[in-house]
Chains A and B, each alone.
Chain A
Amino acid sequence: MNLDSIRGRINDLDSHEMTPRPNWLEVFGGTAEADAMLTMMLDRFPSMDPQSVQDPLASSVRGDHTPVTPENVLIRGVRAPGSYLPERRLQVLDHLGIGTQLVFPNGVGLVAMMMSCSSPETIRWIMSGGDADLSFDPAVVAPSLARINNDWAIRFAAHDPRLRPVGVVCTNDLATATAEARRLIEGGIKVVVIPSAVPPGDLSPGDPALDGFWRLFADAGIAVVLHVGGEFDFARRNEWIRHPNFAFNIPQDVQEVSLDAYSLSTVHLGPQNFLSAMILGGLFERVPELRFGVIELGGHWIGPTAENLDVWAHQFRRKIDLPMPPSEYVKRNIRVTAFHFEPVDVYIERYGMQDVFCFSSDYPHLEGGQTPIESFAAKLERLGPDVVEKFFVTNAEWLLNGTAAPVVV
């Protein structure tokens, strides 16, 4: 398929900073508090190693200086060009034909997300395989790490409007979350991520008591997203994963999700639950401007979920007074990314979700694949140029709330 029509205008809803561990202090530090926190994390969790075996050569990597070439943009891991320096990430975007890109955390911010939703047992398991010293309170550390990530995000965002670093808001405590959200908005952040396993402020996400929190984002035109990495301990028990086929059987940048067939087949359950409570709770009726994204959690479930919500909303129509079926709120307010090997064309045909699915590269993570643009385009071509345009460009604009000017390549 000829991609010239979209080149330079593609919106990418998932990528990551992937700062090598030796560079964490210089990239995320700078204040005494941040340096102390980062030093503690690096000391306590020596196996918390973003380099890992995604790239066997990565353990010796410092800095971001791999040349931006057609071959090198296929590298996954910390050795990828543009792994954390904004000016070099822009070169990569130009090379790939991407206009605007969300940049999620890989290191500090992802640890914050994980700690905000995990029990000490889970934190030990994820961060160290089970024996780490956790003589600190994760409930205190998580928002502190989020602030360190967010300081970086605010600095990163200032480089160019094409780069949209994502702020992390730990929602365990609503007052803390609200204060951090205000700081992010004032700092120019356009997208925030929250953990899907945490009922915000211990409330159901559709509870009217949370309307003020959601309206904060809606009024500012800021998108709220769920991204993989915020699902830990959604289920009360952890035994499910204990099987040789499953637990962390690809060593990796540990905090996001265990890369195994069981975890990835069920990782959407937390977000599915979160969205169900939001939609059936009438949130998108009361706050219609809220922009909501579900990123790197697969695309297979959103169509069946929307239809299932329609079924139950109809059955309880005298109880929940929504003027539209839940699936219409999905189409209006929610955007979803699929993995590059999912049959997104089939999903669109089955469920009529052509306005919902969006392109993402997950650069430079392994799960993003090496040629996601070509892979998605090949599937969608048979649905016509309008669907291709929506998928690669238009749909994401709801979350990006305006994109940077097209890039001439």
Chain B
Amino acid sequence: MTIDRLRGRINDADSHEMIPACMWAEQFGPTAAAFAPMFEHVPEDAPNTLSIKMEADDTPITEESVWTIKSSRAPGTVDPARRLEVMDFIGIDRQLVFPSGPGLVGAFIAASPPDVIEAQFGVDTSAMDLGATWRALLTAHNDWAMRFGSIDSRRLRAVAVVVGDTLDELMREAERVLAGGAGGIMLASSVPPAGLSPADPALDPFWRLVASSGAPLVLHIGGEFGFMRSTAWSKADVFTPLDAASIETPLDPYTLSTVHMSAQNFLTTMVLGGVFERHPDLHLGIIELGAAWAGSTGQIMDIWHHQFRKRSSNLSMKPSEYLSRNVRFTPFHHEPVDVYIERYGMPELYMFSTDFPHLEGGRTPITAFASSLDRLGDDVIEQFFVTNAELLLGARS
């Protein structure tokens, strides 16, 4: 199979800013800058590191630099014009751009209990106003996202992170960032929005706001912290994470095997609670959380919805049909997405992503996915690399 015909048309549902910590003061402001020193101990050759001492985004754009540098040193990590050049080089048309820095730190603090925050960042939370801190970090990230996307709002879709204790707070920040051109709204999947079940009709104004904007709602890895009550599960020597600077997720086999649970829980409340029935134009992306669970989750929701059909009569379709219509997933490059499609059908669920410039994205994701999908034919390849992501990327011009 030739992938030349995809060149220039590929949609990438996951990439990241990777502004080095030394530039946080100028790019994100003083609250973010206060967290920058936590990366100083990380070696510059560690994967996903933000500890690079650099003054400009000036690494030449080459095959090697684009795919093998997995840190702030990669080209296009800071400068949106250079990100567009990187996209042209790879053959990508449109791209979601997620945080690596203050946006993730803010989501982490918003979602985690104080002891976990102290363990992660080495700070004394008793002296901090945690609510003010995560709000300042997320505001800084969201301001950056609006600036970054403004250079080409069709191709660069920088995603804002929205967390709020009340519906009013959610609405105000979502209205602000959508008006400012944010390419999507990311929620922390471990946090009930405004303290409510995502299924609760009281959240309908928020879902309606996002749906009517045409921007996607997204759950991305990094929003799961604090989902489980205990943090003991990962505390074993064999689960010691790789020495990576990104706080997106600990890179260890246990965490990555279970990281989808928070999103699975969130998605289940939305589907079975009738959110997509009430908001058929709401589009949800589940990004960098794997896809091994997508098809089987649709099927088990179908089974239980059928068992409770007399009590859940507010759904006009099977739960899996809402997945087909409203939800998209990005598998990791090493997942057998061809097997998932064969087993569960629903080829429309899966989207291509580079995770540029993070380590987990791999070095040859286009060829890895294409060779996995080749046996399923050109239509499936077109869906995977181009069409399916248009649910999340297609509405904004």
Bind each other: yes
A positions within 8 Å CB-CB of B? 197-199, 202-208, 233-237, 239-243, 245-246, 249-250, 260-262, 264-266, 269, 272-273, 276-277, 280-282, 298, 300-301, 303-305, 307-309, 311-316, 319-320, 339, 341-342, 350
For residue B335, CB closer than 8 A to chain A, the reply is yes
In the complex, A233→B227 CA distance in Å?
10
For residue B269, CB closer than 8 A to chain A, the reply is yes
B200, B233, B252, B301: the one contacting A243 at CB < 8 Å is B200
In the complex, A209→B164 CA distance in Å?
40
User: Please, which residue of chain A has its CB at the minimum distance from the CB of B292?
Assistant: A308
Q: Are B196 and A300 in contact (CB under 8 A)?
A: no
Q: Which residues of A contact B307 (CB under 8 A)?
A: 261, 264, 341
In the complex, A350→B334 CA distance in Å?
20
In the complex, A305→B258 CA distance in Å?
9
Given contact pairs A235-B265, A298-B300, A308-B257, enumerate 17 new A-B contacts (beta carbons under 8 Å).
Answer: A208-B236, A245-B199, A245-B274, A245-B308, A245-B311, A261-B308, A265-B268, A273-B258, A276-B254, A276-B258, A277-B234, A277-B236, A277-B254, A280-B239, A300-B296, A301-B296, A315-B334
The proximity string for B residues 44-82 relative to A, scoring 1 for CB distances below 8 Å and 0 otherwise, is 000000000000000000000000000000000000000
B228, B265, B272, B332: the one contacting A245 at CB < 8 Å is B272
The proximity string for B residues 288-318 relative to A, scoring 1 for CB distances below 8 Å and 0 otherwise, is 0010110011011101110110011010000
In the complex, A298→B301 CA distance in Å?
12
Instruction: Please judge, given known A-B contacts A245-B199, A260-B311, A298-B300, whether A266 and B253 are in contact too, CB under 8 Å.
Output: no
User: Please, which residue of chain B has its CB at the minimum distance from the CB of A204?
Assistant: B236
Q: Which residues of B contact A243 (CB under 8 A)?
A: 197, 199-200, 269, 273
Q: Which residues of A contact B377 (CB under 8 A)?
A: none
Q: Are A273 and B261 in contact (CB under 8 A)?
A: yes
In the complex, A300→B344 CA distance in Å?
13
In the complex, A264→B272 CA distance in Å?
11
B196, B198, B230, B258: the one contacting A202 at CB < 8 Å is B230
Q: Are A266 and B238 in contact (CB under 8 A)?
A: no
For residue B41, CB closer than 8 A to chain A, the reply is no
In the complex, A280→B303 CA distance in Å?
29
What are some 22 contacts across the A-B interface (CB < 8 A)?
A: A197-B230, A203-B232, A204-B233, A204-B234, A235-B229, A239-B192, A240-B192, A242-B196, A245-B311, A245-B312, A245-B314, A260-B308, A265-B268, A265-B301, A269-B264, A276-B257, A280-B239, A280-B257, A301-B300, A305-B257, A319-B253, A342-B303
Mark out the residues of chain B between 335 and 378 whose CB falls within 8 Å of any chain A CB in the assembled complex.
335-336, 343
In the complex, A405→B49 CA distance in Å?
63
Contact count A vs B, C-beta below 8 Å: 172
Q: Which residues of A contact B122 (CB under 8 A)?
A: none
For residue B256, CB closer than 8 A to chain A, the reply is yes
Q: Are B197 and A239 in contact (CB under 8 A)?
A: yes
B positions within 8 Å CB-CB of A? 113, 190-192, 195-200, 226-230, 232-236, 238-239, 252-254, 256-258, 261-262, 264-266, 268-269, 272-274, 290, 292-293, 296-297, 299-301, 303-305, 307-308, 311-312, 314, 332, 334-336, 343
B13 vs chain A, min Cβ distance (A): 20
Q: Which residues of B contact A316 (CB under 8 A)?
A: 252-253
A118 vs chain B, min Cβ distance (A): 10
B54 vs chain A, min Cβ distance (A): 29
Instruction: Please judge, given known A-B contacts A239-B192, A242-B197, A281-B254, whether A311 and B335 are in contact too, CB under 8 Å.
Output: yes
Q: Are A282 and B304 in contact (CB under 8 A)?
A: no
Q: Are A240 and B300 in contact (CB under 8 A)?
A: no
In the complex, A203→B332 CA distance in Å?
29
In the complex, A281→B257 CA distance in Å?
12
Instruction: Please judge, given known A-B contacts A243-B199, A277-B254, A308-B292, whether A204 and B343 are in contact too, CB under 8 Å.
Output: no
Q: Which residues of A contact B226 (CB under 8 A)?
A: 236
B56 vs chain A, min Cβ distance (A): 34
Q: Which residues of B contact A272 (CB under 8 A)?
A: 258, 261
Instruction: Please judge, given known A-B contacts A199-B230, A298-B300, whether A207 and B235 are in contact too, CB under 8 Å.
Output: yes
Instruction: Please judge, given known A-B contacts A261-B301, A311-B334, whether A269 and B261 are in contact too, CB under 8 Å.
Output: yes
B14 vs chain A, min Cβ distance (A): 17
User: Please, which residue of chain B has its CB at the minimum distance from the CB of A247?
Assistant: B197
